Structure 1
């Protein structure tokens, strides 16, 4: 069944009409130390609606949804479901009330099979405690059919694509009979094709009567698929409207207010391109001063895959000083294997990788970093942060040997603080204090700090994997503006991302990865969504 996306659903109840909303949050306040994450927020959600929740990083969106899911207890305020007041002590209470949540970071256990992940914590068992595996498989198939999903239930979850893992997360909610589904930035790691497939799934679930709360930074997703939108700014609700009454400029103004710092000037982000020339375009004209020198060269590179065979095969690519090269491809085309090979985390079986003409495929990750390479991974918790440490400790992570920060092995406290303050100020990271645990920051603010740290100083080469995942408009623009400034001074940047529109806006060249090889490259003047999209699936644009 094909579900056609519509701008807004006709006949969806208005949350302000006579029928009680399926979710109502009144005066919700939540504090973390001196930081007020949610400040007397009201929210009404109509039954059967797709309700978008938008705002900048640190606006309070995820905190509000975690309160609805029982993960946090509010310091003040009341929660009502279908007109009845409820109080959740944990997510278990929310699940009992048919609420489910898919967070930005999936809860799937890679070593377990797809089926074991699906039923974990809600296993069907007989009188003697034996697992009813056949019954579980039958129910799993029925639920998967609703989503037009046909997984191999015995396959380890680690072998599933990002899109398949996300569908598995949604199935986990349905397994527990969720009627209210909360999705936090669900498209951050999906290709354009997978984004369309996800929203077909969500519209299908909506047509079955389920209510969906969508936390997103992406204007086009809200405008195309949502019925209603609520906007938070600095912990407060600033707007609430049917999506049919909202356009992109209005939504952008609600989200960022009158403070446009961090947006490309004078263009000010993707929704403000009509005035002037963006920083991306202006600085890209200077890259020719460096363009004769290849900083990164990959020649006939082969990298093994965990699934057997080659994740990368016969890959050839050059990245020149001063340019941003994007790598586009459908998820599972070899992006992860390429990133890990470039970082020294996965062996190169054949071929050569060079930094400024010097072979580096046998270098350790530490050697590559000392040579001036910086990395940004999508999984900041596992590879870019120490979650239990403070903001200050994470700000200097990896720079402990920097002579500016220590003498004879002893840290200089003032220098550490100056470095952390500079990173926080440069990327407008919202922090309660430098000594606060980094887990108190929103996901977007954690990402801002990681990016600021990577771009500190004068790196030779940046290799980034989905660098704007979870970032708002301002944060994404600030990220690429900082990358562009570094490239203006001779750095080269290779950006592997799944948002084709993002790559087309910010890159000088796009290389298309298909089945582990670069099959086509597009200079900026030849960018076409249709042509690049066709190359991503191994076809021509016709």
Structure 2
């Protein structure tokens, strides 16, 4: 018998007719004991032990490549350990497969959504464990009843009959949680669940997780956001170089000074020493000329709805301007339109006084560095080498023959060193690197390309305007403290060298530290401009339309 939900609607069978096992009283739901996982010669996890207790939110933090996500995948049966043991309710997880873990009540929400965009939300919920009635017909009515009961119990709100592609990022994140709950999960493991969420959405997600923990479920979250650990977690584990460096109850939620002290302790445990110095915005000179000019930028979607509604803004040479907004309010379309990738765009984009509106994507590269929000979809070729990714789009600007090969090697070496890509091996596949190091590759290529040194060859110098600009969407999404410091320093250096930089980020702390002013987007429009000294509440009210433009 599986444990029925509050509504009394029984949980559906899992693939193969199995049903989730009932929880055992007391004890840890999940235990990892001296687990080891190797990728060839690289040891991703070495002798790590972890205990996840029910009724609590357990945060797992560490640098990119420290083994956090790998540890979670071992617990969820996505990966099988080379040594050590994974136990669920005291019994070994055998076979170590996602199906067996799901049968035992363990569900994982991955960092990159595992959803079919063309399906309805409800269809994604039941995919793989579809309920049936007479003659094997799909019983969506039963599925809808159970999904609604689970949403009510967990405090979730998702339009079940909407196309998944039309959902906001926050709704898709909740849909992933509903999927694992539908399969009877008693332990919910989430990998970077707030990386794509606004602060308001992140608070709502943790309210849901707290509710699930109070029901007695086990909740584990991998995150880079230490403020979330301090505010929401009951227990925190720090991973460093594949090992558990620290595991203790989370502390410091009450007093502001206590929060700062706890965050500093965690940062030192993550880094294995003192954290890197904080990077602040460079000074902006008086009378700096306009470098990036956008006028009347408009993108019209299906049904005539304006996804981008006449955006007009100017970023001066040496200025860092930030764009804040709830995900899905036109930020993606703005970046694509500036980059020349949005065929439905109308309006004007100019860099250094030169109108780029008729230039194609390739022509814009000499003066416009762009980082898109999804590095896997629009930034990194996971099956290609680190070196190939670092020069992607640059080979046509290099000399031919042996001189070209030497220039390419020098360019790769410079970008690896400047952005501290780890491991510093250009022959390594990009897909084998941590998410943070993949992000370094994307940012390195975009910023180094438009820096004066990168535009020194004759062809680029002829085509490039006198000034250059960079547009960076979510530049430190899913990135640890050390990698974020490297990227922030590169952004500040680019601005200090005279580039106009536009940063689109869901991290309000990042925007306030780096930017000279903040632009808030809502429904495809810039609704208000705020100083970096503004509060989260001011920005949040503007995001939600509670602040007059």
Question: What range is the shorter-chain TM-score in?
Answer: 0.7 to 0.9
In the alignment, structure 1 residue 449 sits paired with structure 2 residue 441: yes
* Cα shift at 1:425: 2.5
* Cα shift at 1:127: 4.7
Alignment of 1:13-412 (within 5 A): 20-244=27-251, 247-258=262-273, 260=275, 263=276, 268-269=277-278, 279-281=279-281, 284-285=282-283, 287-288=284-285, 292-306=288-302, 308-347=304-343, 349-370=345-366, 372-403=367-398, 406-407=399-400, 412=404
Q: Is the contact between residue 33 and residue 432 of structure 1 (CA under 8 Å) also seen in structure 2?
A: no
Q: State the match for 1:10 in structure 2.
A: none
The CA distance in 1 between the partners of 2:169 and 2:114, in whole Å, is 13
Instruction: Map Cα deviations across residues 132-177 of structure 1 (whole Å, 9 max, x no partner).
Output: 1211122222222234444332321111100011011111111111
Q: Is the contact between residue 352 and residue 359 of structure 1 (CA under 8 Å) also seen in structure 2?
A: yes
The CA distance in 2 between the partners of 1:342 and 1:164, in whole Å, is 27
Q: State the match for 1:272 in structure 2.
A: none
Instruction: Map Cα deviations across residues 215-258 of structure 1 (whole Å, 9 max, x no partner).
Output: 01111101111111110111111101011378111111111112
The CA distance in 2 between the partners of 1:306 and 1:180, in whole Å, is 40
Q: What secondary structure does 2:205 align onto? A: helix
Instruction: Map Cα deviations across residues 305-354 of structure 1 (whole Å, 9 max, x no partner).
Output: 34641111132211111011000112222112212211222235543222
1:411 and 1:222, CA in 2 relative to 1: closer, same or farther beyond 3 A?
A: farther
Q: Is the contact between residue 68 and residue 239 of structure 2 (CA under 8 Å) also seen in structure 1?
A: yes
Instruction: Map Cα deviations across residues 352-397 of structure 1 (whole Å, 9 max, x no partner).
Output: 2222223323332212113x11111121111111111122222221
Q: What secondary structure does 1:128 align onto? A: helix
In the alignment, structure 1 residue 507 sits paired with structure 2 residue 515: yes
Q: State the match for 1:9 in structure 2.
A: none
* Cα shift at 1:411: 8.0
The CA distance in 2 between the partners of 1:350 and 1:421, in whole Å, is 39
Aligned residues: CA RMSD: 2.2
Could you tell me the TM-score, scaled by structure 1's length? 0.88
The CA distance in 2 between the partners of 1:162 and 1:23, in whole Å, is 29
The CA distance in 1 between the partners of 2:216 and 2:441, in whole Å, is 40
Match of 1:434 among 406, 410, 426: 426
Choose 245-254 or 376-385, whichever is displaced more. 245-254
The CA distance in 1 between the partners of 2:74 and 2:414, in whole Å, is 33
Could you tell me the TM-score, scaled by structure 2's length? 0.87
* Cα shift at 1:178: 0.9
Q: State the match for 2:530 in structure 1.
A: 522
The CA distance in 1 between the partners of 2:213 and 2:187, in whole Å, is 10
1:33 and 1:415, CA in 2 relative to 1: closer, same or farther beyond 3 A?
A: farther
The CA distance in 2 between the partners of 1:367 and 1:393, in whole Å, is 20
